[in-house]
């Protein structure tokens, strides 16, 4: 559950971007960082984990309003998927409030997507969370590659592969162009705050 900082009168909400390697988690965060620059208080932190970068920054989004007089501070993370980064993953996934699963639309990545989602399920389980209960949004990234003639999967197929049981909101996106990044985050924040209010009994 979210951290409540009584000193600063802030609720810290932790949102984690998960997905197979090079699916565009980092690009998502970079786009968000760019467009919310004015609201970002710290700098973006990046640790070069093998094959994938781990990113972190936090910001106070405008327009989210206050909850019971508390500002909502959003901490965004990406998480390295490889098995060996267990302690990093544990720290990042601990007390996660909301998740975005970024899937790669390229046909060749079909299996990678499914494996990574299964991984997420397993990891959450280890930390006592259920993938069916944690606020989760799917993003089908790299839609723009279709225009360049690369074989991508139709949305309906990805829905069937990944979202058949979860039945969570999903968004097509092209993170590199900034398309779909905002709606994904907004939807995730909305779900997260709803679940948070429920947990707190507010």
Partner 1 sequence: MSQFVLSGNLSFLALGEVLQLIGSNGGTGVLNITSKYSQEPGMIHFSKGNIIHGSAGSVKGLDAVHALFGWVEGDFAFSQEEVKVPQTIRNSRMEIILDGLRMLDDGHTKILGPVDFAEKKEGGVKSSVPIIKGPLVDYMYVAAEEDFFKGRKIVTENKHGSWIWVVLEGIVDVIKETSEGPVPIVRMGAGSFIGGVSCFLFKDNVRKATIQASTDVQLGVLDSQRLADEFGSQSREFRDLVVSLDKRRDQITEKTVDVCLKRFSLKEFTKGKQPAKKMGINPEKLLRIAKGEVCLVRKTEDGGYIPLAVLGERDVIGPCPFVDIGHEPQKAFVFASPDTETEELNPESLDAEYSGLSSALRNLIETTATSITVTTRVACDYHKNNLQKK
Residues that bind partner 1 (CB under 8 A): 3, 5, 7, 12, 42-43, 45-50, 54, 56, 80, 84-88, 90-91, 94
Task: Give the strand pairing for 71-78 and 10-18.
Answer: parallel
- For residues 18 and 96, give the distance between their C-alpha atoms in angstroms, rounded to a whole number: 12
Residue with tokens 């995730």: 188
- Name the minimum Å distance from CB 88 to partner 1: 4
Beta-carbon count within 10 A of 149 CB: 7
Alpha carbon distance 54, 43 (integer Å): 14
Residue located via tokens 């139709």: 154
Judged by beta carbon, residue 82 or residue 155, the one nearer partner 1 is 82
| Rounded distance between C-alpha atoms, residue 99 and residue 191, angstroms | 10
The residue among 133, 132, 124, 59 whose CA lies nearest residue 95 is 124
| DSSP tally for the chain: helices H, then strands E | 5, 8
Task: Give the shortest CB-9-to-partner 1 separation in angstroms.
Answer: 13
Any bridge partners for residue 14, and if so which?
Answer: 75
Instruction: Quote the DSSP letter at residue 152.
Output: B
Residue 39 or 110: which CB sits closer to partner 1? Answer: 39
Quote the least distance from Cβ 51 to partner 1, whole Å.
12
Considering the complex, state which of residue 12 and residue 104 has its C-beta at the smaller distance from partner 1: 12
Give the residue with the Cβ less far from partner 1, 87 or 165. 87
Among residues 86 and 150, whose Cβ is nearest to partner 1? 86
**To the nearest whole angstrom, how small is the minimum distance from the Cβ of residue 57 to partner 1?**
8
CB of 188 to partner 1, least distance (A): 20
């Amino acid at each position: 559950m979210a951290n409540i900082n009584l000193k600063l009168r802030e609720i810290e909400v932790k949102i984690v971007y998960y997905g197979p390697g090079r699916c565009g988690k980092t690009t998502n965060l970079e786009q968000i960082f760019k467009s919310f620059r004015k609201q970002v208080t710290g700098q973006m932190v990046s640790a070069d984990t093998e094959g994938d970068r781990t990113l972190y920054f936090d910001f106070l989004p405008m327009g989210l309003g206050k909850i019971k007089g508390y500002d909502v501070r959003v901490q965004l993370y990406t998480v390295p998927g490889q098995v060996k980064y267990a302690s990093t993953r544990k720290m990042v996934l601990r007390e996660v409030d909301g998740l975005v699963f970024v899937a790669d639309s390229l046909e060749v990545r079909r299996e990678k997507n499914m494996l990574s989602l299964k991984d997420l399920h397993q990891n959450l389980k280890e930390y006592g969370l259920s993938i069916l209960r944690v606020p989760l949004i799917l993003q089908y990234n790299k839609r723009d590659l279709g225009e360049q003639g690369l074989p991508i999967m139709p949305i309906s197929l990805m829905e069937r592969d990944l979202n058949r049981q979860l039945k969570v909101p999903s968004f097509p996106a092209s993170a590199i162009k900034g398309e779909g990044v905002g709606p994904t985050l907004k939807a995730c924040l909305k779900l997260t705050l709803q679940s948070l209010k429920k947990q707190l009994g507010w």
